[in-house]
Structure 1
Amino acid sequence: MTILEYSWVGREEPYLDEIDIQHVGRMVLGRFGGNRTAGQYKNEDGCLLWTSINQDWEFTVLLDAHTTAESAELVIQTVKTLKSEIAALLMMPPGEAFEQVGGLLLNKFKSQDFKAKCKKVIGETAFLCVIRQSSFLWWLSIGDCILHLFHPELAAFKEYQQNHRSFYEWVGKVNTFDLPVPCYSSGAKELRKGRNHIFLTTDGLTECPNTNFADPKEIFNLFSMFGNEEGVRELLTLIKDKNVRDSTTIISWIIDTEHEGSKPSS
């Protein structure tokens, strides 16, 4: 199995005052570290992208750390150690694959070894893992990173955001997995027939002053005028021009499917 892979943490290359666009298979990765003139001096975002050349899936992790990027680095290093196991599981049918991968990630995060490493880092990170396999989307979310699914049939019902921003949840020095009941959310979504646009972002985009990107309809409308790469670049250009301070990392890709999504019986 051939897997395209890319990982990054903001302190390696912070992209302050700079927009960067990369392609990993069909996925577009867009980064803007924030404006120095607004007071930005570091970037604590991070990401991990895998996509199979031979199989029909993408695996992504998006991170938004606080204080330092050490927690994001730890999570990326940890998930990388699971690469061969995750790739093998993603050869299973989607229902089994999602259940098994979710269990694998949670068991690793709950392990004493991982929790001991978390105690040694400075700061903590939000964590969003999103997998697309065949005509289904699955996610595991800790904290406040955002997942949207844009499709006209969903937009007709004003459905865009799939997870919810959950505050006071992290992995790292302050660690949800140290609680008696670890706090996170997970879900799955059937893609619709036609063009499905999967869009992940850290909150620099949604909290940019003098914009309304906290409303996902605004993002949906913008992409109706641009292609995938052009839309990501336009979003980052707009927040750069608005002198945003916080860093923004976007992962965006399009899946065209012939699969007929579920319809009501009457």
Structure 2
Amino acid sequence: MVNKLSWVGSKKHFVDEISVMTIGEKVVLGRFGGNSIAGQYKNEDGCLIWCDDKQDWEFVILLDAHFTAESAELVTSTMEKNESRFLDIFTLPVVSLFASLNSLVLDIFQSESFIQDCENVQGETACLLVFRKDNYLWCFSIGDCLLLLEHPELERLGEYQQNHRSFYEWVGKESTFNKKVPCYSTGVKELRTGDNHIIMTTDGLVECPNTSYNNGKDIYLMFQNVDTCEVGVRNLLEDIQSKNVRDSTTIVSWVIQNNKEATIPTDLK
């Protein structure tokens, strides 16, 4: 059974309020709309989460809109209308799945109907799509939401962030998909053997004053010595709330245990 959640900050803004919940068996969603005392009064973040614990995959779209939340609403509703197309692809073997998934997302965002719908909304949204199946993690990134991955082997080399934050890229009224050539980045990451901790976040977390969460290591320090992802996500949100952050923050976090042998260099075998 596919567990589903769809939310946009225009539905419930979580200003001055922290919410942490779990979708399915492992995907944790944390939301904080910012502090009203700092001037916040709305939330233009959004997310769509689908996961199937039996089939062992997760699909997450994280959105950070501006001006209004209309562009985030458009992306979530459009993806929901195409749910059957996504679910068909998710059943494919990984050898062909990611190329098909990439093509589907481009087909949707470049369709005449979607481009026309974008003309009728106010504002734009950053959009980060992430899909995990087997021992692979795929992402499709438009704009400046962040994808991070923690594993001891990567940590020793200082690797956390998996996508490049790209400014002046959006979907919406001034969409970079309305141009002759769409602007985005995409990639597939092989998970390491053992526990892999995936985090997606909007930029409210990394731009919070008096913190160093622009360093991935400091984000993951909040998950040390805690029993669950829920506690770690709450720790992060409570910290930025105490630092009087204005911008809204949405975090999605989950841990995947990979029992398959990951690629290692020849001289270390």
**Sequence identity percentage:** 54
CA–CA distance in structure 1, aligned partners of residues 220 and 265 of structure 2: 25
Summarize the alignment of residues 97-246 of structure 1 with structure 2, pairs less than 5 Å apart: 97-226=97-226, 227-246=228-247
CA–CA distance in structure 1, aligned partners of residues 137 and 54 of structure 2: 19
The more displaced of 92-101 and 30-39 is: 92-101
CA–CA distance in structure 2, aligned partners of residues 97 and 85 of structure 1: 12
The more displaced of 43-52 and 84-93 is: 84-93
Summarize the alignment of residues 35-50 of structure 1 with structure 2, pairs less than 5 Å apart: 35-50=35-50
Cα distance, 1:257 vs structure 2? 1.4
The more displaced of 218-227 and 241-250 is: 218-227
Question: What residue is the counterpart of 2:76 in the other structure?
Answer: 76
CA–CA distance in structure 1, aligned partners of residues 181 and 95 of structure 2: 25
Alpha-carbon displacement from aligned partner over 1:208-258 (angstroms, at most 9, x marks no partner): 000000000101222122231100000000000000000000000000111
Say what the alpha-carbon RMSD is for the aligned residues.
0.7
Listed as ranges, the gaps of 5+ residues in structure 2 are none
CA–CA distance in structure 1, aligned partners of residues 107 and 87 of structure 2: 17
CA–CA distance in structure 1, aligned partners of residues 85 and 110 of structure 2: 17
Alpha-carbon displacement from aligned partner over 1:154-199 (angstroms, at most 9, x marks no partner): 0010000000100000000010111121100000100011110000
CA–CA distance in structure 1, aligned partners of residues 64 and 96 of structure 2: 29
CA–CA distance in structure 2, aligned partners of residues 251 and 145 of structure 1: 11
CA–CA distance in structure 2, aligned partners of residues 191 and 161 of structure 1: 14
> Partner of 1:55: helix, strand, or coil?
coil
Aligned length: 265
Listed as ranges, the gaps of 5+ residues in structure 1 are none
The more displaced of 31-40 and 100-109 is: 100-109
The more displaced of 82-91 and 160-169 is: 82-91
Cα distance, 1:121 vs structure 2? 0.1
Give the aligned residue type for 1:254.
Answer: V
CA–CA distance in structure 2, aligned partners of residues 84 and 107 of structure 1: 15
CA–CA distance in structure 1, aligned partners of residues 185 and 27 of structure 2: 24
> Partner of 1:195: helix, strand, or coil?
strand
Give the TM-score taking structure 1 as reference length: 0.98
Give the aligned residue type for 1:3.
Answer: V
CA–CA distance in structure 1, aligned partners of residues 49 and 96 of structure 2: 21
CA–CA distance in structure 2, aligned partners of residues 225 and 122 of structure 1: 44
> Partner of 1:74: helix, strand, or coil?
helix
Give the aligned residue type for 1:234.
Answer: N
Alpha-carbon displacement from aligned partner over 1:32-89 (angstroms, at most 9, x marks no partner): 0000000001000000000013311000000000000000000000111111111111
Question: What residue is the counterpart of 2:20 in the other structure?
Answer: 21
Give the TM-score taking structure 2 as reference length: 0.97
